[in-house]
Each structure stands twice: as structure tokens, then as C-alpha cells.
Amino acid sequence: MSPLTLNSTYRLPSGYDIPILGYGVYQTPADIASDVVQHALKVGYRHVDSAVAYRNEEPSADGMKKSGIPRDQLFFTTKIPTRQMNYENSKQHIENTLKVTGFDYVDLYLIHSPYGGKENRIGAWKALVEGVQAGKIRSIGVSNYGVHHLEELEEWMKSTEEKEGKGKGGVLSVNQIELHPWLARKDIVDWCRNKGVVVEAYSPLVRATKTDDPLLLPLAKKYGKTTSQILLRWSLQKGFVPLPKSVTKSRIEENAQIYDFELSDEDMKKLDLDGVYEPCTWDPTVSRD
């Protein structure tokens, strides 16, 4: 495999390419989102991860447009919010995203979480599938899905294909979950790998709670990098799509400077904390409703 660069992409099951490094905008205030997105694009990011719930789809898209980079070289993700998620509301959210962003299509639309019960999960998925059929969305996926949620969706997709024909159940391209050495989610990652579903890693910096961690500090020293860069490099070498967030221009740059070194196999193993379960955010993957 050729070495990864800031321009590297993965091919999604949908057939579209996703830039491997994403720029997360959770908790990025709407009044600065356009500016920080423009900075991220200036330093080479091409992929922005937003959500209806983040209330910054519009300014994030504004920053993408103001960057002057052609739309087809940029990748915009958003997510159907968990609150009152169902088929009808999901259709509305898709329309509204196109309206507020002014985009002709969304690159990737995800279901933000599995909360809300099977009927609503499937309803939201159907709305996404219809969005793809109508050319409003290129690729679709889920977020915070545990293996049992993924299997429920796969079963529905299969039975829909049997009844209605190939492709009618939609194509699952992505599962976006919290992922870092303290939450490696082997079960979910393995399931996705086996099915060719791309895994996106959110909170890849563990929300800056491990900046001085004794496991990371010696590696940072050894490679002449920051602990944040070590975490992002780990994520890249695991084959994930990391989505670091920062509103600080110097950190936006720092988080993209992860292509001039490689963690050795031995050092990757040091970060293999098998069985450790330390989420730093919510964890809907375990919900059973």
C-alpha cells in the first residue's frame, strides 16, 4: 500500500471516495464555524463532519464555499438528529440540510444514534435510501451503532432487497463511533471490516483528556511529535477515518501533520489496551431499546 498522505481517500461501499482525515465541528460555535472550516481547508483537510444537532451546518457549508475549492473535491457529512427520529422527520431534515447549506447533494448522511427503537431506526434509514435514490445524498451510514443494531439493519436491507430488488435496501457505507486506544471496540470494528463498512473514529483525541498520559508521552518524545499526533497516527494506522475537532488554528494544523512518521508495530501494540472500556462521551452502541 502506498504511504498515506493528507490527500488519501478510501473507497466507500457506495462507490464514492471519502478523504481519510475529517475535520469535526461538534461544539464549534456557529459564529466561528465558517472561519475555522476555511482554515482547515486551507491547510489541506477536505472533509467536514457536521450534524443537524451541532447547529452549524449552514456556517460550515459557508466556509466550504468560501474556500474556493471546487465542490466535487470537498466532502460534507451531516447526521439525522436523535430527537424524535422517524421517517417523516428524517425526510424533513434531509430537505432542510440542502436548503441551509445550499448544496445540491450531501456526501454522507448518517443516523446520529440508534436511540428511538427499531421502527424509527428503520424509518430514518428508509428516508436516507430515498435521499440517495433522489440524488440528494451520495452515501449513507450510521453512527453509534453496536453490532446488534448493525445486524438489525442488515437483516432489513436483505429482506427489502429480496422483496423489492437489488439495491432497494440501501448501501451501508459508514459506522461512526467513538474510537481511541481506551475504547477500541473490537467487536464493532471487526463486524464493519468483514462487511467492508468504513469505520470513522470520533473523539480520536479522547477530548484532550490524555494529553499528558504516561503511555503517550514517551511515544511523543520518541517520534518528535505531540501526544495528539500520536493518537491520530494510531487511528490512521488502524485504518479508521479520524475526525479530530479543534477551533484553534495552530491545533488544526498540528492535527494534519501526521504523515511524516509511522508508529512501529511494537509501538502500535503498546497502544493496544485490550478490553479497556473508557468512553469519553455518550455510548449509544450498548442501548437495547
Ligand X SMILES: NC(=O)c1ccc[n+]([C@@H]2O[C@H](COP(=O)([O-])OP(=O)(O)OC[C@H]3O[C@@H](n4cnc5c(N)ncnc54)[C@H](OP(=O)(O)O)[C@@H]3O)[C@@H](O)[C@H]2O)c1
Q: Alpha-carbon distance 16 to 90, whole Å?
A: 22
Q: Give the residue with the Cβ less far from ligand X, 144 or 160.
A: 144
**CA–CA distance from 280 to each of 72, 177, 204, 241 (Å)?**
34, 12, 10, 18
For the chain, where are the alpha helices, taking DSSP H only? Answer: 30-42, 57-66, 87-101, 118-133, 147-164, 186-195, 217-223, 227-237, 249-254, 265-270
Among 202, 210, 216, 220, binds ligand X (CB under 6 A): 202
User: Taking phi first (over 0 means left), then psi (-120 to 50 degrees means alpha), and beta for anything else, what does residue 83 get?
Assistant: beta
120 binds ligand X (CB under 6 A): no
Q: Give the residue with the Cβ less far from ligand X, 101 or 176.
A: 176
Scored b (16 or more CB within 10 A) or e, 139-166 reads: bbbbbbbbeebbebbeebbeebeeeeee
87 labelled catalytic: no
Residue type, 286: V
Measured from the CB of residue 105, what is the shortest distance to ligand X in angstroms? 20
206 binds ligand X (CB under 6 A): yes
Cβ(210)–Cβ(227) under 8 Å? yes
107 binds ligand X (CB under 6 A): no
246 binds ligand X (CB under 6 A): yes
Residue 39 assigned as binding residue: no
Interacting positions 138-167 with ligand X (CB under 6 A): 143-144
Measured from the CB of residue 26, what is the shortest distance to ligand X in angstroms? 3
Q: Alpha-carbon distance 32 to 59, whole Å?
A: 8
Q: Looking at 54, 109, 145, 202, which residue is catalytic?
A: 54
Measured from the CB of residue 244, what is the shortest distance to ligand X in angstroms? 4
114 binds ligand X (CB under 6 A): no
Residues 6+ away with beta carbon under 8 Å from 274: 184, 186
Among 67, 203, 235, 285, binds ligand X (CB under 6 A): 203
Stretch that binds ligand X, among 19-27, 56-64, 67-75, 114-122 (CB under 6 A): 19-27
173 binds ligand X (CB under 6 A): no
Grid look-up 475504547 returns 183
Q: Alpha-carbon distance 233 to 155, whole Å?
A: 35
- Measured from each CB, the residue nearest to ligand X is 24
Stretch that binds ligand X, among 11-19, 38-46, 197-205, 233-241 (CB under 6 A): 197-205
Measured from the CB of residue 158, what is the shortest distance to ligand X in angstroms? 25
Give DSSP secondary structure letters for 86-117.
SHHHHHHHHHHHHHHH--S-EEEEEE--STT-
- Give the residue numbers annotated as catalytic, written as ranges: 54
Binding residues vs ligand X (CB under 6 A): 24-26, 49, 112, 143-144, 176, 202-208, 211, 226, 228, 243-248, 251, 254-255, 281
Pick out the residues of the known binding site for substrate.
Answer: 112
